[in-house]
Amino acid sequence: MKIKAIRARVFEWKGPTVPPQGNFCSNAMDLVYDNQANRHECGNDTMNTFRFHGWTVVEVETDNGLVGLGNVALAPRIAKAIIDQYLAPLVLGQDPWDYEYINQRMYRATQAWGRKGVGMAAISAVDIAIWDILGKATNLPVFKLLGGRTKEKIPCYYSKLYRTDLKAMQEEAEKFMKQGFRAFKMRFGYGPAHGQQGVVENLKSVEAVREVIGYDNDLMLECYMGWNLEYAKRILPKLEKYQPRWLEEPVIADDIDGYAELNRLTSIPISGGEHEFSLLGFKQLLDKRAVSVVQYDTNRVGGITMAHKINALCEAYSVPVIPHAGQMHNYHLTMSSLNCPMSEYFPVHDVEVGNELFYYIFKGEPDAVNGFLQLDDKTPGLGLSLRTDHLHNFEITE
């Protein structure tokens, strides 16, 4: 079995979207004031650069007719160019069972420019597609190739509590608690740029959600790189009484020493890794005790080949892995690792931040039932196929 073709297409959403809201989610752009030199249609929406309304879909085809699906959400047009111009020539003609060799070939050939960010994300898409092929070739789900079932079903946490009106947040939390969810993640809407008033608003939002879900359910807090070290050190002691399961990405991803200082400072576990891209990058985080929970995304870290290694690395440090964003490439790794206790979960929803696009492009994602996800033992590969019923809402670049 040899790889005979690689096709990368960009799917850009042109359908209806939920309009941006102010203070929807703190993020790394909040600290950079807008001097209005290049105003655009998104206005003051600092989340604009973190919305993923385009996706690169990769199809890897073998000479015996198998087609594997991979995907990448970061900078999709650039990812497509990387795959077409740099990665495909390295992969064509290879045996997909030599996945370690193929992954190393892509990783090492792009060292000059691809070690972090979209270069690794493009590699991930190809690697994910190769694992989909391996599952289809053996008529087994991917998780069975990675170690098999380590849990009856996957617990998942509801992850769509963005900062909106407090009453609306409470109603949303209550709605999904009634659907069986026992864990919730909410976003802060304010950071250092908003002063003490923003601190008060952040505390009010945590208190409001805790009021609804109580203390017998888990609450996770996300900053999305929207704070800095000084601000985080001031607010963390005030958050401890709310007993969060973790505080996510309090500072920008490159501030590893800042993560480590915060992880030592507080009883609240600090989590991160969504914006880390390599095995050695995670080793640095672990060596510095910078995070107590690792949250890689398989379609950013080099694919399933590398994510499987990161799982093993984290297990050796007794640091749990809870991958970012849900989605099937992550679910298979979570099912196959005892060190992955739960999954993130976004319900099917109108297109907003962009995580929702996965549901509009692919079919086969499991729905959560009473706060759990299930993977089928008899569905080969990732269990995904391309949808056709939403194609009219996409502009597709071949």
How do residues 349-393 score in pLDDT, each as one tens digit? 898 888 889 999 999 999 999 999 999 999 999 999 999 999 999
Confidence at residue 44, expressed as pLDDT on a 0 to 100 scale = 61
pLDDT of residue 340: 98
pLDDT level of residue 21 (50, 70, 90 thresholds): confident
Taking CA atoms, 122 is separated from 8, 71, 159, 301, 346, in Å, by 10, 8, 25, 10, 23
For residue 82, how many other CB atoms are within 10 A of its CB? 27
The two structure tokens encoding residue 200: 């008060």
User: What phi and psi values does residue 138 have, to the nearest 5 degrees?
Assistant: -100, -5
In this predicted structure, the answer to whether residue 43 has a pLDDT above a threshold of 80 is: no
CA–CA gap between residue 211 and residue 333 (Å, rounded): 34
pLDDT confidence of residue 38 = 66
Mean pLDDT of 167-182: 98
**CB of 336 within 8 A of CB of 315?**
no
The predicted pLDDT at position 45 comes to 66
d(CA 270, CA 194): 22
Check residues 349 and 296 and name the one with the higher pLDDT: 296
Average pLDDT over every residue of 148-173: 97
Q: What is the pLDDT of residues 316-349, one digit of tens each?
A: 999 999 999 999 999 999 999 999 999 999 998 8
State the pLDDT confidence band at 266, using cuts at 50, 70 and 90.
very high
Q: From CA 290, how far away is CA 327, in angstroms rounded?
A: 26
pLDDT at 158 over 70: yes
Q: How far is CA 15 from CA 54, 364, 390, 395, in A?
A: 12, 21, 9, 10
Q: What is the mean pLDDT of residues 249-258?
A: 98
Tell me the C-alpha distance between 254 and 256, whole Å.
6
- Whether 124 and 311 have beta carbons less than 8 Å apart is answered as no
What pLDDT score does 39 carry? 60
- What is the structure's pLDDT at 301? 98
Direct distance between the N- and C-terminal alpha carbons of the chain, in angstroms, rounded to an integer:
26
Q: What is the pLDDT at residue 352? A: 85
Neighbouring C-alpha atoms within 13 Å toward the C-beta of 304: 33
Task: Return the pLDDT at 24.
Answer: 84
Active site residue 308: no
Would the pLDDT of 40 be above 60?
no
Indicate whether 263 pLDDT > 70. yes
Q: Considering 324, 332, 349, 390, which one is annotated as catalytic?
A: 324
Least confident of 35-39, 64-68, 73-77, 339-343: 35-39
The residue with greater pLDDT, 27 or 171, is: 171
Single pTM value for the model = 0.96
Confidence of residue 70 (pLDDT cuts 50, 70, 90): very high
Task: Kindly list the structural domains of the chain, giving each domain's residue range(s) and its CATH number in brackets, ordered by start.
Answer: 3-139 (3.30.390.10), 144-386 (3.20.20.120)
pLDDT band at 46 (very low <50, low <70, confident <90, very high): confident
* DSSP β-ladder status, 154-161 and 372-373: antiparallel
Structure confidence at residue 356 (pLDDT): 87
Residue 191 has what DSSP assignment? -
